[in-house]
Structure 1
Amino acid sequence: MRLRLRLIGPVRLTGPEGNDRTPTGRKACGMLALLGTAPDLRMPRSQVQDRLWSQSPPAQGAASLRQAIRELRQALGDGLLAGNGWIGLDPAAVAVDLRPMTGPTGQPVEFAEGLDIRDPEFEDWLRDMRLSLEDRAPEPDVPLLVLTEPKGDSPSAQLLAGCVLEEASARAAALLPTRVVQAADCLTGLRIESLAVARPDNCALLLMVLRNHKTGAQLWAQHYSLSPLEASLRRVSACVTLTLIQAARQLMPGSEALYPHEDLFSFTRSRLLSADHRLKRFDGPVPQALRAFLRYTLLIERQAPDMREAFGEGEDLSRQACAMAPGDPTVLSIAALMKSWKGEVSAALDLARLACRMAPGHDLAHLALSQALTDAGRDGDAFAAVARVGFGPIAALGQPRWRLHMAVAQIRLGRLADAEESAAIALSHAPDCRPALRILAALRFKRGDVAGAAAAIETLRQVEPDFSLPLMASPEYPVRTLRRAGLLDVTRSGL
């Protein structure tokens, strides 16, 4: 696995698993910038010394260079090469990333951003390098969401529209990922226009139009009825969020600059691993947390060859994400799910509640809270939490997962017919969803539908190679809710 050296933006060196290995010294980072842009990734030692220590006596400069090389060796390991009078990076071990990037306002991100080395030779080189890279900066990889001020015939109608659009654009930006900007701050993106018309019942009619900000071409239009009630605002916000995500995906089909939503919420091992591979290319806490979430899915699906190793990887990724962004609701939600899997109910509750406080409308936070409340035996509260998820975009992007959590909550409350319906809907969206098949096998057998139970068991045998009814009855098999509710008679059926 290769190290990755990103030079657009702050100099950053990451390991194969996304862990930060950037040297702390500015001169060592300067050496990475020099070597990462040198022909064949190699430079004469004398040239490196002249660039970084041009004002030091030769002996002192040589000693400083040796110290910086030692620091680089700690970060790069075998990725740092040295020969007779030269040093360099091993291209087989280090991937240099010079892809153009855009910032929050749509402007190009600077090469070696923030690297301040007070040496005239290095400053001249850095200025020339930045100028040489300026002209190649493209438009943003992912369309910026260009939010305009809502128009309307009354302040109250404009206020309702503003609340919905601000929340929806922020959620869509987090899920794509991209940034929300104002129209005056960029030249390209998806422009969100709106008109709110007040109605006599304190409600409003919201007309929303999505345009190509650069050309003005209309891409989509829809109207909604808005009321001050929280449920109405959340429902419309979720619809707008999904529209923004779908518009970005249609403009950039198959783009690897977008999060892999279609695989992220899958229950198929190959698709989960594909999503993990794509997420490795993203920096930041949320991609790290999402990779932990993928391992959580592999665990509940019994699709990890080594369950202990998969949990350890997920826990490490979640811990790294929390260290980078301790207040991010997505990061906190996934950390809560990992704690739930580990059986640390109190910690899971604390993390999920914190995520909900940080973002009251965050549906993944309520999904994690529902799981933690279920583990705590607070079944009514768990159902209320998962019901809130139905108002958010996760319920549409990850319909099987939401329905699965709903089925668990309904079983806990004794609503078996509703639980069977929820599991059937989950299975219709994900035909290889093992938890849904387990629930359907148990509930169908409970109500006397032996043929239906047999069909679910047969499918389980196909998608879960080591499945057997005795295994399903064993204490370590992941059917805790069915076991607690006394719904494992199917394991003694001989089907």
Structure 2
Amino acid sequence: MSLVLRLIGPIRLMAGGDQDITPRGAKARAVLVLLAMAPGRRMARVALQDKLYSESPGEQGAAALRQLLRDLRLALAGHAGVLESGPGWLALSGAVQVDLSPGASAGRPAEFAEGLDVADPEFDDWLRDLRLSLEDAGPAPPSPRLPVLAVFEPEGADDQARLLGAMLVHEASAKAAELIPSDMIPGAMLQGRPRGQSVHAICLGSGDQAIIMVMLRDLATGQQIMTQRHALPRKGSGPALRQALATLTYAIVQAALRFAAPDQPIFPLADLFSFTRQRLIRADERLERAPEIGEGALGLSMRAYLRYTLILERQTHDPEARLAEAEGFLHRARALAPGDATVLSLSALLRSWKRDVAGALDLSRLALRLCPDSDLARHVLSQALTDAGRDREALAMALRAGTGPMALIGQATWLLRRMVSQMRLGQLDHAEESAAAALAHAPDNRPSLRFLAALRYRRGDEAGTVDALSRLRALEPDFTLDLMASPDYPVTTLRRMGLLDVTRSGL
């Protein structure tokens, strides 16, 4: 039976077109609203608790949320399946159509979630900001024609292995669905042969390990795209599970991009994490041509990030204008998704660029609290810690940041962050290794060549220095050693460490 959640005017959850199954409680309806408007229709339980029970102590708030969800499922009765859950998260099923079409109430335009009164300051602030952002945005754009990501429940006789498999498959799929983007649906609801892919897992027990075999298939052809094997310890599986999550998320994203149709709106992830003007502008143009993703919270954040890169890499003639554009994009993104970790992380990055160390620390820590496994939040927090002179903490955070799916996509960027932290601690040999690894992942990245030229010259490797400088001159036509020595050239760490002797080498 089709379900429609109407959010303009009084909240209504309708089944079959005319059956009103809206829960009566204000907080129960607030759960539906929060999930419907969250990226990927999914929220961490702790984030949901913060919105609805912000004034209750931690355990008391958690208990109240558990009771609220039990009551909501009972109220939904046979439709309780619209609430999907897993370890630490809750989601609204993709089977629910969210209706944001304009309406009228008493002869005036209807308000978003009209009449909803939860009496929690965090929720009230979120609702007010969202109403304002919807007023500014005007009518909602039509839903994009997104591919499907059908996730089947894992199979296997070993209960513990199957539980770990479910955690792995659902978490990785949800992250991938946001990055592609795609519509994530339960495999049981799959009908026909839509465009997209499916995720299957077979889970086996083997001594103290759970063996998770994951298969990806192209839905249109039935072709198997990829198989991955993950061995997770039954106990204490945290680090191993995080690594498996990153690897599987990356594989799902790459498979989706490989089979993308020409007209499919997708995030140009490789170009977004590149370093050259041509690729960055190409990414921006693709997002601008696809407003259904480019005007969403993640798309706006990514458009701000690529402008940050253009400024940092001296790839724009008007850095002030690009900075203003980036701030404008992030302002709009925060209005759409005020609690989104990616939006907050990139807002923190701009604060770092503007030398607002306290603001960058606050925003990146908030992002990490809202999404504790966000590799981007850790990456930006490492930058903020470096700005604050807390170099050991910055390196520890940079090392932890390199294990997520976004870090796998933008490996050069994450390796460069590690390199800067290592240099600040005097670990110059390790820093050189990180710079060389970053260059191997992205031969067009200039920062690694700048650092390699300086570090190789320091240890007397003249041939290596010449190679780095010649490659840098090819990528940066106006490059000179005098320019590198100037105070505005982006080698702050080399300058601080007294490692700019290469600029007087005459090479």
Please list, as runs of the form range in 1=range in 2, the aligned pairs for 1:42-441 lying within 5 A after superposition.
105=94, 113-116=101-104, 141-187=145-191, 188=194, 189-201=196-208, 203-213=209-219, 216-227=222-233, 228-252=236-260, 254-280=262-288, 281=290, 282-441=294-453
Distance, in Å, in 1 between the alignment partners of 2:316 and 2:221 is: 48
TM-fit CA distance, 1:115: 3.6
Distance 1:465 1:215, change over 3 A: closer
Distance, in Å, in 2 between the alignment partners of 1:238 and 1:321 is: 25
Distance 1:329 1:441, change over 3 A: same
TM-fit CA distance, 1:114: 4.3
Amino acid at match of 1:219: I
The normalised TM-score by structure 2 is 0.69
Amino acid at match of 1:225: A
Amino acid at match of 1:269: R
Give the total of aligned pairs. 378
Moved more, 244-253 or 270-279: 244-253
- RMSD over aligned CA atoms reads 2.8
Question: Is 1:461 aligned with 2:473?
Answer: yes
Amino acid at match of 2:463: A
Please list, as runs of the form range in 1=range in 2, the aligned pairs for 1:448-487 lying within 5 A after superposition.
448-487=460-499
SS of 1:462's partner is: helix
TM-fit CA distance, 1:296: 0.9
% identical equivalent positions: 47
Look at both structures and tell me which one has the larger radius of gyration over its CA atoms.
1
TM-fit CA distance, 1:255: 4.8
Structure 1 unaligned regions, length at least 5: 1-8, 11-23, 25-102, 120-137
Equivalent pair of 1:231/1:391 in contact (CA under 8 Å):
no
SS of 2:204's partner is: strand
Moved more, 474-483 or 149-158: 149-158
* Partner residue in 1 for 2:69: none
Equivalent pair of 2:152/2:188 in contact (CA under 8 Å):
no
Distance 1:398 1:254, change over 3 A: farther
TM-fit CA distance, 1:231: 1.5
Distance 1:262 1:255, change over 3 A: farther
TM-fit CA distance, 1:337: 0.9
TM-fit CA distance, 1:118: 8.7
Equivalent pair of 1:150/1:193 in contact (CA under 8 Å):
yes
Equivalent pair of 1:394/1:402 in contact (CA under 8 Å):
no
Distance, in Å, in 2 between the alignment partners of 1:271 and 1:366 is: 25
Amino acid at match of 1:205: I
The normalised TM-score by structure 1 is 0.71
Distance, in Å, in 2 between the alignment partners of 1:118 and 1:142 is: 36
Deviations 1:356-382 (A, max 9, x none): 111111111111111111111111111
